[in-house]
Amino acid sequence: MGLPLFRAQDDPGPSFFHFAEIAGLTAPNSPSDLSSPHATTVIAVRYDHGVVMVGDRQATSNYIASRDVRKIEAADRFTALAISGTAARGMEFIRMAQLSFEHYEKMTDTALSLEGKANYLSPIIQRNNLSSPLVVLPLLAGWDLSHHVGRIFEYDGAGGCYERFDFSTIGSGSPFAESTLRLGYHADLELDGALDLGALAIYEAGDNDPSTGGPDFVRNIYPMMVTISADGFQELTQEDVANRFRVINERRTQSGGVAGGSLR
Amino acid sequence: MTNYFYVAPEQLIRDRAEFAQKGIARGRSIVAAIYDAGIVMVAENPSASLNKISEVYDRIAFAGVGKYNEFDRLREAGIRWADGTGFTYSRGDVDARALANFYAQHLGDMFTEGQKPLEVEILVAQLANHVRPTKLYRIAYEGTIVDEPRFAVLGGDAETIKARFAASEDSFEPLIVTLKNAIAALAGPERTIEVSDLEVGILEDRGNRRTFLRLSDEQVSELLR
């Protein structure tokens, strides 16, 4: 690539996505419906001082393609981005989002607002999903530095962006995760409660949906759990995550595999 | 009827060089120096928002003097080039030398073929990692590129400032010392520069991927204390 200089009227501004399109760095969309691995089930729950995100680790095509995929990434210090849908497109999408937020910051010497980041992703999702069967659906959660509150943004297949004030789920295990969250969520949820509820939601999804991986005690692979708060993006240690899932598993073993009439 | 006069190529080059030098000399200067743990760039800049120093990539920074709109466009092109290259290949493949060469070619082209030469002088700084060395590439208005071993001075009064800084420092010192020397060299013996009129940026490993840090007035005051 040569030095990308533009005249004022052709300048793509601080948007990396628009620059990448002009410079031909993005892959052209094709209508090929090649079967490729899918990544599934991530949830986000708001609690009193931020957002908790939990995601399973499995990528599935006709078989289990991978058991240790990381579907939640820090898009920047105060923003987490999770993906569902086609894994390849999802990974590219995360890379594009991470780079775009950093690019904007370097070009303008100011960080994008959380709402700005959420809206920025809409046309990128729209462009991908409306021109290719390799659909990708992200979930954005972040700490809003100007309003001091954790916020969740979900998208529909056409790129529509909607803020959720309680919780959100993406991926094929959504119905099970969503039901769990609906029953367990309340407005004054604290961090620990939100983490346990999020873990239970992914446990249910892994238990019922063949494309979602639950805790893997044999290989020591557990769903990924992160918090986004005033301290930024933080991932729970594997030990902490393992313990939370062990507790759920123990309860479930005692009740013979059913929730036992209540959320447990 | 228009009369065309013959102008000797030597004269044309001299005129263009003089034009560019005059433009550059109107602005304030920048000192960039390697210290024991990184690179510090110090600009005299009364504006708090029209920056002369900028982050380009994880370990690369940009500094420019002269006409703001001209060097800012180069700065933006550098960020786009770096992010685009890192996106296409990998973050480790973004090299300051390649960027400095592109800048030199562009400035050279503009000097000989442009409507007018660019009235800028720029610096591409790179902090070392396990595969690349620490580098200060100074690129002049006509495309000359110089790989400065210890420090670089950009701007009108470069020779005087260079002599002052060279006299104050002959080895890599801690940031506090290098920053003080750089400010003293910019100011000269008769003058002091207010902290609010300084723009300071560093490249230093702090455990993060991105090594660039713009120092606030408070941070600079703290270091100078």
- In chain A, alpha helices (H): 16-22, 87-108, 114-129, 174-184, 191-208, 238-254
Pairing assessment for the beta strands A64-66 and A59-60 based on DSSP bridges: antiparallel
Which chain A residues are Cβ-neighbours of B77 within 8 angstroms?
3-6
Cα A186 from Cα A181, distance rounded (Å)? 9
Give yes or no for a contact between B35 and B205, defined as CB atoms under 8 angstroms apart. no
State residue A47's pLDDT score.
97
Percent of chain A with pLDDT over 90: 77
Catalytic residues of A: 40
Provide the 3-class DSSP secondary structure of residue A185.
coil
The average pLDDT across B78-87 equals 97
Both tokens of A88, joined, read 């390849």
**Which residues have CB under 8 Å from A232's CB, separation 6+?**
A77, A78, A143
What does the pLDDT look like over A176-194, one tens digit per residue?
Answer: 999 999 999 999 999 999 9
B1 within domain boundaries: no
Residue B40: is its pLDDT beyond 90?
yes
With an 8 Å Cβ cutoff, are B83 and A16 in contact? yes
Phi, psi (degrees; rounded to nearest 5) at A228: -125, 115
Phi, psi (degrees; rounded to nearest 5) at A23: -80, -5
What does the pLDDT look like over A220-230, one tens digit per residue?
Answer: 999 999 999 99
How many other CB atoms sit within 10 Å of the CB of residue B113? Answer: 8
Domain A36-254 fold: Glutamine Phosphoribosylpyrophosphate, subunit 1, domain 1 (3.60.20)
Q: What is the mean pLDDT of chain A?
A: 92
With an 8 Å Cβ cutoff, are A3 and B88 in contact? no
Instruction: Please tell me which residue of chain A has the smallest CA distance to B54.
Output: A106
Of B76, B81, B86, the CB nearest to A107: B76
Percent of chain B with pLDDT over 70: 100
State residue A138's pLDDT score.
94
Percent of chain A with pLDDT over 70: 95
Confidence of residue A26 (pLDDT cuts 50, 70, 90): confident
Cα A106 from Cα A213, distance rounded (Å)? 38
Cα A186 from Cα B142, distance rounded (Å)? 66
Both tokens of A101, joined, read 């937020």
Both tokens of A181, joined, read 């969250």
State residue A130's pLDDT score.
83
Q: What is the CATH number of the domain that holds B163?
A: 3.60.20.10
Whether the predicted model's global pTM rises above the 0.80 cut = yes
Amino acid identity, residue B74?
L
Q: What is the mean pLDDT of chain B?
A: 94
Residue B164: is its pLDDT beyond 70?
yes
Give me the sheet containing A50-55, strands edge to edge: A167-170, A42-47, A50-55, A224-229, A232-235
B3 within domain boundaries: no
Which chain A residues are Cβ-neighbours of B103 within 8 angstroms?
3
The average pLDDT across B211-215 equals 97
User: Total structural domains in chain B?
Assistant: 1
Q: Taking the domains of chain A in order of start, what are their residue ranges?
A: 36-254
Domain of B51, in residue numbers: 9-224
Nearest one of A196, A235, A194, A238 to A217, comparing CA atoms: A238
Confidence of residue A33 (pLDDT cuts 50, 70, 90): low
